[in-house]
Structure formats: structure tokens, C-alpha cells
Amino acid sequence: MTVMAKISTPPRKRTRVKICGLTRDRDVLAAADLGADAVGLVFYDPSPRSVEIDQARRLLDLLPPFVTAVGLFVDADPDYVRAVLASVPIDLVQFHGDESAGYCSGFGRPWIKAIRMRPGVDLIAAERDYRGAQGLLLDTYDPGTAGGTGRSFNWGLIPQPLASRVVLAGGLNPGNVADAIRRVRPWGVDVSGGVESAKGIKDQAAMAAFMQEVRHGDES
């Protein structure tokens, strides 16, 4: 008797989700309840989503297990980064300015590097330069701000061999994230303003819709 081997189709990769710029207890709890893989807190005073150390510690104390706490810094004084890391249970550091690889690797924590998609950016070179990073986060370039522009960039600029290892950010919202996932197939997506009712104030219905659309993107 001939036994036919069953050929199974490997499961489609699940896109990870980070919800960034959280400032309120209820939004941290909602993000976790909705299935976010990571939450981001901003330690950058010019941002309307910036948090203080005591506030950040209180917010992260609310997290259940297996939700990654990300701390975002922009060209910060190293002593300030160390002070935050000594007081706040940050799992992963996100550097969102013009930090060098040597700077990023100097704090003894896993880290990711944001790359703003300015004209002529070479992502292959960036991956090589920041090879100590856990990954690259790609965000929209605006010369007047370090991030949070609310605008997307041309996803076609992402080299296909690199796409599955990046976190896609920049202007994502419930209306475009499924298309972004279908077109890019990133490792993860990062949202902030796209799920807000005001800067730093998350809209729970928008967060739920975003998570649903991520699943739709994965399934298509």
C-alpha cells in the first residue's frame, strides 16, 4: 500500500503590532487587551506624547506578561537614558534620532533603530551599519520633526529582502494598515497618531479597528 505524504501549507506569518505614544492607564490596558505585542512610551520633551519617569513606571506596572515595553528616545543625553532605564522597566530601547551604532549599543539593553526615509536613504547600508540592532523601524522623513508626522512614505522604497525584518511606521491607521501589510509584509507595524482622538489620547475603537485590519492584512 502506498502512503501519500500529506503536504501542509506553512502558516502565514503574523505581523507584530506596537502601539506607541501611550500616556494614560486606560490606553495601556486597552492596548494589551486588544493583543498589542508592544507598547511604546516617548521620552522626548518636545513631543506632545512625552512622559515623565514616574508616569512611565506607573503605566508599565499595568502591563501583563509577554507585552514588550519600549522606550523611545531622540538624541538624548546618555545620562538621561541611563536614568530612565534604571527607574522604568523598559524591555527594548528605540532610538529615533541620529544616534550612532556605538551610542545605541552602549546601554546594555536590546534596541532598535528608527530610520527616517529621507531622499536617497540606503536601507541595506543602514542595516549593515546598525547590525547590533534587533531591527530597523522605518518612519516618514520630515526635516522639521523627529517623528509622529501622521504621513506615510513610499513603501516601494523598501528592498524586498529587507522587508520581512523591519517594523513599518509612518502614517499608519485602520484605513491603510492592511494594504501596507499586503504590499510590504513587514515583521511588524507601529502606530501612534493613527489611533488617536487627540495627541497622546488613544481612541479605543480605533485601536480595535487597527488590530482587526492587521489581521485582515495577514490573511490576504
Is 62 inside a domain boundary? yes
Residues known to be catalytic: 20, 139
Is 1 inside a domain boundary? no
Say which CATH number the domain at 158 has.
3.20.20.70
d(CA 114, CA 140): 10
Is 146 inside a domain boundary? yes
Is 6 inside a domain boundary? no
Span between the terminal Cα atoms of the chain, in Å: 39
Is 209 inside a domain boundary? yes
Instruction: Give residue 164's domain range.
Output: 16-219
Q: What pTM value is reported for the model?
A: 0.92
Cell numbers describing residue 161: 529582502
Confidence of residue 142 (pLDDT cuts 50, 70, 90): confident
Give the total number of structural domains in the chain.
1
Helix (H/G/I), strand (E/B), else coil: 159 = coil
Is 8 inside a domain boundary? no
pLDDT, one tens digit per residue, over 5-44 is: 444 445 568 999 999 999 999 999 999 999 999 999 999 9
